Structure 1
């Protein structure tokens, strides 16, 4: 591929050290499709003869067909998947294969296949996230009337509906899909035609190649095009945050399934046991989701650290982009799938949740709000509510069981109606603002969540159609 300048081959140990074949072999199909588009453009521009273009395209399509059917083993001592593809094409069609690399460098070739593969993986991951969101919305729709403590600092804070709590994760995941869609849009630019760094010397129609491969645009600057890995960093950053969200939820479900919380039990199919302690039922899938999030965070650090010292243009360091990116996306997709299955085996326990909501004076804010409605400045009302809590704590009773005279000794602004205002049900229903935990607001959130599912599905359809444009190159 580049041996004319050299009088001896690369040392076998260094070939093994520099080879990326074990990682980038998964790009084979996309590299072949991009090569078909390139050969088509070379033929149309009469850079190579029509006969050579047809031979190259037919040979590449046969390679794709054999790869898809399992007849082609992607193995051997190759520097990367691109050299494997070219060698395989040479074996099949002879010298015409040597014309394929006209007006192309591995620098823009690699970046093109990488972007195509990343677009495919982003689409697949967004589809998995949408499935998890749908599962959560289904669970939430059956939990609108279950009330539990909301926590801040892991301390009882205010009562909320379980559906409201579950939907918090839907909106986290929704933001994750939006970030991934943004990343997809930035990856959706064709670098082919940038050459090694300066562009190419042949009249190849880059926009024609972009259209053949389903890219919406071409890159603007050849130097930037071959060295740009922003799209990979953004993809891994997006999935790192996705995995952080999943890790937060996994940690919460681990806590909820303990005897101390008792908010959930786990089905046998989503639990494991102990090799020593017969009574144990462990939430291992959730713990591994939490643990594997750390790997994805490490992948993001790898990419940023790799890029920070590189001048503009291509450098071999960039070979390390794919292990970090592919692992991050693979781990994230596995975590999303695992969470969806795990959630199916989680059984919430309303009685424990509602009992917990009645401990800890969760409606103390309602005391302050009550006084505020009576005209007391909120800061004064807050202090008076604290005194009411102190009296309830001394009696070890919830606020709705504290005798009215105790309230009135703290402030003459308290009337008999305070006893209803501080109940759990009244506290929840008082949060009747968009995004709040009142029943009608939670029902509205459910509707909004279903609307988001529809929009994500539309995006997935458009992304699939874009990728299908390139896939059609395999069939003629």
Structure 2
């Protein structure tokens, strides 16, 4: 019999039972449900709402249920409505009437809201750990390639020379921001909804601050309606996870390009690539492609929850049961992607000679040529035009800028002197960019130091 069945004159249709049930997916929150129930029972005992004997019996019974679930001795009942009802029913079966008193001054609404926050708090810690592992792999590759010259791109056209280390550190900035968003999300959600009741609190003399303290929350939620009706924590986390996937997807797209014969800038370790069933020469970047594909899945989870919540009146509505599958799926997907992507990146071989060869073509030192003239006193727009005519001249004669003779340079402007060849050399072009955040060696070293300090802080 359902624990809420007193109001009803007939049994629920079996199809409605199946439709209404959530234990198939919310069973993963059994630890959080038991943790919250132990705290609730402890507080009820301290407030004299339960006797000491009842409190001790409930807590001991919950501990036995936890142990049996984790050992496999107690399987989840697929006929149970949800994990909350399953644990309460099992507790009552084990300890009798004391188990029926556990739900005093509590609703399933605030119980669900609590379990979700406890679960998200734990999973945020796990995701942040995986982001840290990825950043560690990025640091090692960036440090090893801080002087590896490659072309930087805009519109997927060669634009200006940078280093591979500089390029990787751009992603490091993205993932450090992702970590800060996860930390902010955890901080904002760290308020305890337990004690909100169904929506209007309770007439029992409970101590919400004590329950929050027992569960390591910063404080109780301030409004009982908001305490049970809010799913901002889920939506905020899904948004943060979507940004992580966005960054992973952009990175994956570049890895797919870099692995192609048209680029051949990197080669993935055999452990992180696959072959073809018919073409024996193929080495496919399937990990990167799957990460790119799974990004849409996480976006879908975010949109599903935003859509489910957009028209709901206060307080709780059954629509909100849809939060869990979306959140669970997004967390599982992001953890899987991060845990696979980081070692793929760590073991990736950088083909520096190919990168430099690509940087030697495409006139990516043209801006430096214009800057050379500007430093000689020519207005930038005039220098830009002269350099453009030089590039056109090179294209017409099958040359690069650095292959021109001094006479050819001076035919376009008498300001060109022998030092132009040093000014437009690739290494000069890279290391001459001394502005903060650029690809120059001193700037890259500063960015590496920032990343290293971040990682040291994350380890504490």
TM-score by length of 2: 0.98
The Cα offsets for residues 67-96 of structure 1, whole Å up to 9 and x where unpaired, read as 232322123301110000111101110111
Contact 1:400–1:420 (Cα < 8 Å) also in 2:
no
Unaligned regions of 5+ residues in structure 2, if any? Answer: none
Is 1:342 aligned to residue 344 of structure 2? yes
CA distance in 2, matches of 1:406, 1:141: 39
1:112-123 aligned within 5 A: 112-123=114-125
Which residue of 1 is the match for residue 160 of structure 2? 158
**Equivalent position to 1:2, from 4, 14, 20:** 4
Which residue of 2 is the match for residue 15 of structure 1? 17
Which residue of 2 is the match for residue 323 of structure 1? 325
Contact 2:138–2:346 (Cα < 8 Å) also in 1:
no
**Equivalent position to 2:411, from 400, 403, 409:** 409
**Equivalent position to 1:419, from 397, 418, 421:** 421
Which residue of 1 is the match for residue 188 of structure 2? 186
Which residue of 2 is the match for residue 457 of structure 1? 459
> More displaced, 280-289 or 395-404?
395-404
Which residue of 2 is the match for residue 472 of structure 1? none
Is 1:141 aligned to residue 132 of structure 2? no
1:463-474 aligned within 5 A: none
Secondary structure at the counterpart of residue 159 of structure 2? strand
The Cα offsets for residues 155-192 of structure 1, whole Å up to 9 and x where unpaired, read as 10111111111111111110110111111111111000
Q: CA deviation at 1:201?
A: 1.2
Which residue of 1 is the match for residue 357 of structure 2? 355
The Cα offsets for residues 192-240 of structure 1, whole Å up to 9 and x where unpaired, read as 0111111111111111101100111111111111110001001010011
Q: CA deviation at 1:348?
A: 1.1
Contact 2:140–2:346 (Cα < 8 Å) also in 1:
no
CA distance in 2, matches of 1:70, 1:13: 29
Which residue of 2 is the match for residue 248 of structure 1? 250
1:274-353 aligned within 5 A: 274-353=276-355
Q: CA deviation at 1:52?
A: 1.0
The Cα offsets for residues 72-126 of structure 1, whole Å up to 9 and x where unpaired, read as 2123301110000111101110111111111001110000011000000000000
Which residue of 2 is the match for residue 207 of structure 1? 209
Contact 1:176–1:242 (Cα < 8 Å) also in 2:
yes
> More displaced, 356-365 or 435-444?
435-444
Query: Of the two structures, which has the highest relative contact order with CA contacts closer than 8 Å and spacing of 6 or more?
Result: 1
TM-score by length of 1: 0.94
**Equivalent position to 2:91, from 89, 92, 111:** 89
Unaligned regions of 5+ residues in structure 1, if any? Answer: 459-476
1:3-152 aligned within 5 A: 3-152=5-154
Secondary structure at the counterpart of residue 196 of structure 1? coil
Q: CA deviation at 1:395?
A: 2.1
Contact 1:391–1:406 (Cα < 8 Å) also in 2:
no
CA distance in 1, matches of 2:352, 2:97: 72
CA distance in 2, matches of 1:357, 1:398: 12
The Cα offsets for residues 374-396 of structure 1, whole Å up to 9 and x where unpaired, read as 22222222222211211222222
CA distance in 1, matches of 2:74, 2:26: 16
CA distance in 2, matches of 1:323, 1:428: 48
Secondary structure at the counterpart of residue 246 of structure 1? helix
Q: CA deviation at 1:49?
A: 1.6
CA distance in 1, matches of 2:454, 2:322: 36
CA distance in 1, matches of 2:430, 2:348: 25
Secondary structure at the counterpart of residue 410 of structure 1? coil
